[in-house]
């Protein structure tokens, strides 16, 4: 019987997001492919150290505890390594007890081509070019930014934070604001469309899958009081009143209810994120992400008008 992926939350993951590859990348760039291959073979039994997305992935996989016989989360490794050099990554995955068994090794090939084949609702990589190619092809993707923050300890809770416009919703509202930079006109526009749901953005399918897992957790806790739900969903947006109401109405139209929402109205997002302490934060603007990456795993979603100039240049 085939293993079905369509009804699961499937993450496509590059090894550059999961592990710290700074040393191996240096060898590849400065000494060439053969030295890189030699280094990987000689160090195959030496596990790679966790990278920026490691704590998020580890906690995400732990959500499978809610339904062990039919796990709702699947992580597929999409690697630019060939199978030979990729063995160190697979050994490292086993060393760190990550339940990742499916992998694709592409010997420098473009990983985004395999996103639909595995029903992937989010592709994560530290490789900016790979993420941009995926996004331009219409696939949900995020670039994991460098960070010295690595929280591998703490409780079992998983906190996932999202910007709203250009991430969960499309960039319609952002386009209105960017057209004239007038906040009052933006609020007038949003009030005029208060009951018109925004169109989906690139990461809505990912949020929908997470919301389904939250429902599974609630159902499990109702029949098993010993089970404590782990997943918390959070929105952190630069919107403020009266523009917050269209966000709520849009979420209602999607049938999704998040745990927390922060409508900051220009207050630096890092201030709130430092208290929320999410295990991952998605935003379409690096101006919000770079300061936050000092204190948490931050992911750039290169979608919409705020990234259009860069996309055209690329």
Residue 283 and residue 262 in contact, taking contact as beta carbons nearer than 8 Å? no
Q: Provide the 10 A C-beta neighbour count for residue 135.
A: 22
DSSP letter, residue 200:
B
Strand 122-125 relative to strand 102-105, pairing: unpaired
- As given in the structure block, the two tokens for residue 301 are 């979603």
The per-residue DSSP string of 210-250 comes to: HHHHHHHHHHHHHH-TT----EEEEEEES--TTTHHHHHHH
Q: Which of these, 89, 69, 107, lies nearest to 13 by C-alpha position?
A: 89
Strand 298-300 relative to strand 141-144, pairing: antiparallel
Q: Provide the 10 A C-beta neighbour count for residue 129.
A: 11
> Residues 130, 163, 165, 284: which is the catalytic one?
163
Distance of CA 190 to the CA centre of its chain: 27
CA separation for the pair 213, 230 (Å, rounded): 10
CA separation for the pair 72, 8 (Å, rounded): 5
Q: Provide the 10 A C-beta neighbour count for residue 152.
A: 10
Q: Which residues sit opposite 75 in a β-bridge?
A: 11
* Type and span of the H or E element at 262: strand 260-263
Active site residue 163: yes
Tell the burial category of 85 from Cβ atoms under 10 Å away from its Cβ (0-12, 13-18, 19+): buried
Query: Whose structure tokens read 């670039």?
Result: 143
**Residues annotated as catalytic (active site), given as ranges:** 163
């Amino acid at each position: 019987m085939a293993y079905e992926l369509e009804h699961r939350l499937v993450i496509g993951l590059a090894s550059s997001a999961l592990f710290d590859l700074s040393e191996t990348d240096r060898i590849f760039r400065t000494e060439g492919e053969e030295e890189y291959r030699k280094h990987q073979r000689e160090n195959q039994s030496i596990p790679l150290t966790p990278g920026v997305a490691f704590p998020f992935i580890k906690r995400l996989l732990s959500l499978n505890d809610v339904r062990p016989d039919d796990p709702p989360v699947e992580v597929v490794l999409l690697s630019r390594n060939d199978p030979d050099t990729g063995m160190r990554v697979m050994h490292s995955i086993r060393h760190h007890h990550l339940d990742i068994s499916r992998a694709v090794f592409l010997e420098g090939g473009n990983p985004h081509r395999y996103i639909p084949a595995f029903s992937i609702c989010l592709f994560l990589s530290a490789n900016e070019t790979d993420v941009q190619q995926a996004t331009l092809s219409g696939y949900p993707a995020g670039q994991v930014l460098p960070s010295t923050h690595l929280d591998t300890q703490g409780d079992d809770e998983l906190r996932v934070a999202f910007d709203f416009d250009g991430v969960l919703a499309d960039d319609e509202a952002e386009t209105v604001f960017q057209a004239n930079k007038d906040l009052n006109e933006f609020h007038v526009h949003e009030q005029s469309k208060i009951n018109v749901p925004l169109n989906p953005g690139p990461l809505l399918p990912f949020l929908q899958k997470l919301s389904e897992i939250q429902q599974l957790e609630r159902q499990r806790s109702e029949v098993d009081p010993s089970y404590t739900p782990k997943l918390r969903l959070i929105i952190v947006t630069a919107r403020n009143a009266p523009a917050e109401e269209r966000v709520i109405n849009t979420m209602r139209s999607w049938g999704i209810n998040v745990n927390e929402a922060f409508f900051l109205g220009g207050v630096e997002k890092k201030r709130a994120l430092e208290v929320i302490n999410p295990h991952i934060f998605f935003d379409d603007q690096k101006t919000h992400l770079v300061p936050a990456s000092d204190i948490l795993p931050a992911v750039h979603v290169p979608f919409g008008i705020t990234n259009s100039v860069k996309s055209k240049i690329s």
